[in-house]
């Protein structure tokens, strides 16, 4: 620090962490400095992975994406939930060909029949990205998916095809998996905790499109409905794609008839089949004019 800098009242008096790291790296090796106990705590992976540090890891997993999304000027997102198993139309018949039994063939054919939702997710992502809403200097309705294959891939793909960035919120799983190739690299995040990933899905969400899916999609969809139903989250457009599929999986009418939900709770979501229908719901909710 120069003499002039020392007299500057706004000049920081402590070194930044990266500077301290460089000092530590220059230390002479001794029995003490080589021992794990001597490592700077924030560089000690073994220490950070201890059970007692779980609250710190929660905080880090909340903070890192939040800071990077703010720096990327992302004000809100259009979130896509859906299956990781529904094939893209161009891969549909190959799935049937791989079936080794009649049961597998029937399942493959059902998945192939739902491949049209891949195209609708892709198209919806294109519509949102092309609208390119900017408010208070922040980008709105940026496409966000779970970062994986199938419906998630379709969302990121649609955004990429019109030259727009999109988010991918991946989760570490025991089996090998990686972000789909259409996620914007600087907006591709990996989570250890499902809870923190789910929080980031909804912190910036201004609309959510739910496509046919399994346990994960059900979990995310029903939690979202619960948050809005209980008033913990303000209402947003919730687009439910695939009435035939979802009506077979969940008897929404029965819930109302049994009194376990109010009938007006069935208005928390909108049935959709096409991208245009979904984008119209969003546009009317927010009074958007995208030409």
C-alpha to C-alpha distance for 29 and 168, rounded to whole angstroms: 42
The answer, yes or no, to whether residue 275 has pLDDT greater than 70, is: yes
pLDDT of residue 85: 92
pLDDT of residue 95: 85
C-alpha to C-alpha distance for 133 and 207, rounded to whole angstroms: 14
Question: Using 50, 70 and 90 to split pLDDT, how confident is the model at 28?
Answer: confident
Please name every residue paired with 168 in a beta bridge, in sequence order, or none if there are none.
145, 188
User: What distance lies between CA 142 and its chain's CA centroid?
Assistant: 11
Position 220 in a domain: yes
Please state, rounded to an integer, the average pLDDT across all residues of the chain: 93
pLDDT of residue 73: 97
Q: What is the pLDDT of residues 136-174, one digit of tens each?
A: 999 999 999 999 999 999 999 999 999 999 999 999 999
- Determine contact, residues 143/166, Cβ cutoff 8 Å: yes
Q: What is the pLDDT of residues 72-125, one digit of tens each?
A: 999 999 999 999 999 898 888 888 888 889 898 898 889 989 999 999 999 999
Q: What is the pLDDT of residues 37-56, one digit of tens each?
A: 989 999 999 999 999 999 99
Position 29 in a domain: no
H or E, element range at 271: strand 270-272
Rounded to 5°, angle at Cα 105 from 103 and 108? 110
**Which residues form the domain of 108?**
72-286
With a CB cutoff of 8 Å and minimum separation 6, the contacts of 107 are: 99
Position 7 in a domain: no
What is the residue whose two structure tokens read 């090998």? 176
To the nearest whole percent, how much of the chain has pLDDT over 90?
A: 76
Question: Using 50, 70 and 90 to split pLDDT, how confident is the model at 1?
Answer: low
Centre a 10 Å sphere on the Cβ of residue 284 and count the other Cβ atoms it contains.
10
The answer, yes or no, to whether residue 32 has pLDDT greater than 90, is: no
Position 2 in a domain: no
Position 175 in a domain: yes
Q: What is the pLDDT of residues 230-260, one digit of tens each?
A: 999 999 999 999 999 999 999 999 999 999 9
Question: Using 50, 70 and 90 to split pLDDT, how confident is the model at 27?
Answer: confident
What is the residue whose two structure tokens read 């379709």? 154
pLDDT of residue 74: 97
CATH of the domain at 217: 3.40.50.450
pLDDT of residue 291: 60
Q: How many domains does the chain have?
A: 1
The answer, yes or no, to whether residue 6 has pLDDT greater than 80, is: no
Q: Which of 180, 167, 179 is nearest to 78 (CA)?
A: 167
Position 211 in a domain: yes
Position 23 in a domain: no
Position 82 in a domain: yes
What is the residue whose two structure tokens read 């990121």? 156
- Exposure of 118 by Cβ count < 10 A (0-12 exposed, 13-18 middle, 19+ buried)? buried
pLDDT of residue 96: 85
């Amino acid at each position: 620090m120069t003499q002039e800098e020392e007299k500057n009242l706004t000049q920081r008096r402590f070194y930044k962490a990266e500077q301290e790291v460089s000092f530590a790296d220059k230390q002479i090796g001794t029995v003490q400095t080589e021992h794990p106990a001597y490592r700077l705590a924030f560089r000690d992976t073994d220490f950070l992975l201890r059970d007692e540090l779980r609250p710190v890891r929660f905080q880090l997993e909340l903070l890192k994406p939040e800071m990077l999304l703010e720096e990327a000027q992302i004000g809100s997102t259009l979130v896509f939930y859906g299956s990781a198993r529904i094939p893209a139309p161009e891969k549909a018949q190959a799935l049937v060909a791989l079936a080794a039994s009649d049961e597998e063939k029937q399942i493959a054919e059902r998945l192939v029949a739902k491949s049209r939702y891949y195209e609708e997710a892709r198209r919806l992502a294109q519509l949102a990205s092309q609208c390119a809403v900017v408010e208070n200097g922040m980008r709105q309705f940026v496409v966000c998916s779970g970062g994986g294959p199938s419906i998630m891939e379709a969302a990121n793909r649609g955004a990429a095809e019109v030259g727009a960035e999109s988010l991918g919120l991946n989760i570490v799983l025991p089996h090998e998996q990686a972000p789909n190739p259409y996620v914007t690299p600087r907006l591709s995040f990996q989570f250890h905790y499902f809870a923190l990933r789910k929080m980031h899905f909804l912190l910036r969400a201004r609309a959510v499109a739910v496509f046919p899916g399994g346990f994960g999609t059900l979990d995310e969809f029903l939690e979202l409905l619960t948050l809005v139903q209980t008033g913990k989250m303000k209402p947003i457009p919730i687009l439910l794609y695939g009435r035939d599929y979802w009506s077979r999986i969940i008897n929404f009418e029965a819930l109302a008839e049994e009194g376990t939900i109010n009938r007006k709770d069935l208005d928390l979501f909108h049935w959709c089949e096409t991208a245009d229908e979904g984008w119209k719901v969003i546009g009317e909710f927010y009074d958007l004019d995208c030409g």
